[in-house]
A = this chain, B = another copy of it.
Amino acid sequence: MTKEKKNKPSKELPLGFVDRQEKELLVRDFIISNIKEILIKYGFQYLETPSFEYSDSIGKFLPDKDRPDEGVFSFKDENKWLSLRYDLTAPLARYVAKNYLEISKPFKRYQLGTVWRNEKPGPGRFREFLQFDADYVGTDNLLADAELCIMASEILAKCGLEKKDYIININNRKITDEWINKLNLDFKDINDLSKAVSIYRAIDKIDRIGLDGVIQLLGKGRKDKSGDFTKGADLSDSQIAIIKKYLIEGEQPMENVEGWDELIKIEKIFSAYKFNNYKITPSVVRGLEYYTGPIFEIELKFGVKNSSGQTVKFGSIGGGGRYDNLVSNFGNIDCPATGISIGLDRLVFALMQKKDFDIKAKRPVIICVFESIEIEEYINILNKLRDSKISSEIYSGVGKLKKQMEYANKINSPAVILYGDNEKKLGKVILKNLKSGKEESVEIERLSNEIKKII
């Protein structure tokens, strides 16, 4: 009914967005079912906030950008701006503020959901990704911080990673803040966020841009490969030297501060859980401004090939930390909290790179169709297979046997079933194994059992 002349629409996707195929989605489902099983065991509740929030509810806490609403997808709706969430933490803070009287304290919730970043897309940099978050809200008990790390470790183990494949790096924002204080920066105190945050963000990028890149960002600024320039924190050489020595290389831990005591307490809890797959790492600072205490980062240590074919360490797939003041932004609520987040698309990609990891899609057995046979007869065979939970279908296209076989091969079907006049006379079908090429004549009653042997 659409015969009028018009321009053809685009077949392409906007940059930063991708179609995801079955194999990747099955790996993702496997990860998600592991996450759900573990989170229930740990006593978390399942919650889902919507994709959109009022921009002012979430805009203040945007990562990696200086202007409140840069980097998000926003719409004007009647008189107010709406934004697609860029993480799951800011919406959680809004949810807690809205439902503060009703929720348990502590409130333990997990969420799985897409987040969006309206940033410059590039190779491997997407504008939408799936995240998993778990948070303890309403408690400053460090047991919560420790359990988040242990839980993340259990998720990775359940997904098939070995101890040597990953490590949880921990640190404390309070220690980092003490170092920044020592720099005698030309702002009044640590609450002049812009400079402190630009330092955290610079350090946080070390995996991606290397030490030289970080040092450029701590100084005047850095030009990336595309020629784009990012303004730096404008620190002096001696200030940069201090950061390099104590915050990046971590030469001398700062042991007599509150932040250090907290790490010792967390280590004690780890030890009681017999969890030792962690490391205190001074360069783990996370780029977000809202952290106030312990910080964690989940690092995958095995090598993967990058786009230039070089083997590189996979790096971070998530992390989190304590954010004791985020909920109080919504009102006079004292609500300490801590949370962790895993980037599921990155974890899917990492698992798919592991040689010994494999999840296979179930492809259907194809019942080929001959013109001389009534469709009812094929449906009878089909129902027998499906009753035995065998993935199967009657060829639903239009074409002769050659085309039907091409289809079966194209979709990687394990086998086809041939039932023409000869077979009907014999009361049997031909079962053709498409992997081995072997054909055998099988009674219909035995068919499901024979198929189960070869799929």
Contacts and interface: CB of A to CB of B under 8 A. Distances in A.
Given A143-B375, A329-B8, A362 B54 contact: no
A252 interface: no
Contacts of A108: 393, 396
Nearest to A326: B2
A51 interface: yes
Contacts of A98: 11-13
Interface in A289-321: 289-290, 292
Interface string A199-229: 0000000000000000000000000000000
Interface stretch (A15-23, A159-167, A349-357, A433-441): A15-23
A51 B82 CA distance: 17
Interface in A21-60: 21-22, 25-26, 29, 36, 40-43, 45-54, 56-60
A104 B22 CA distance: 14
Contacts of A75: 73, 75, 118
Contacts of A196: 1
B53 A407 contact: no
A420 interface: no
A105 B407 contact: yes
A244 B302 CA distance: 68
A128 B380 CA distance: 41
A339 B106 CA distance: 46
A379 B273 contact: yes
A58 B51 CA distance: 20
Nearest to A42: B393
Interface in A223-257: none
Interface in A65-83: 73, 75, 77, 80, 82
A89 interface: no
Chain multiplicity (copies): 2
A190 interface: yes
Contacts of A18: 50
A445 to B, nearest CB: 19
Contacts of A7: 56
A20 B47 contact: yes
Interface string A163-197: 00000000000000100000000000011010010
A426 interface: no
Contact of A144 (B6, B12, B396): B396
Interface string A83-95: 0000000000011
Contacts of A190: 1
A52 B14 contact: yes
B45 A361 contact: yes
Interface stretch (A277-285, A382-390, A447-455): A382-390
Interface string A255-294: 0000000000000110011000000000000000110100
A407 to B, nearest CB: 6
Nearest to A43: B364
22 contacts: A1-B177, A1-B290, A2-B290, A2-B329, A8-B329, A9-B56, A9-B329, A11-B97, A11-B98, A11-B330, A13-B52, A14-B82, A19-B47, A42-B393, A43-B392, A43-B393, A77-B118, A106-B397, A114-B114, A147-B396, A272-B375, A272-B379
Closest 9 CB pairs of A and B: A43-B364, A43-B393, A17-B50, A272-B376, A11-B98, A20-B48, A104-B410, A9-B56, A272-B379
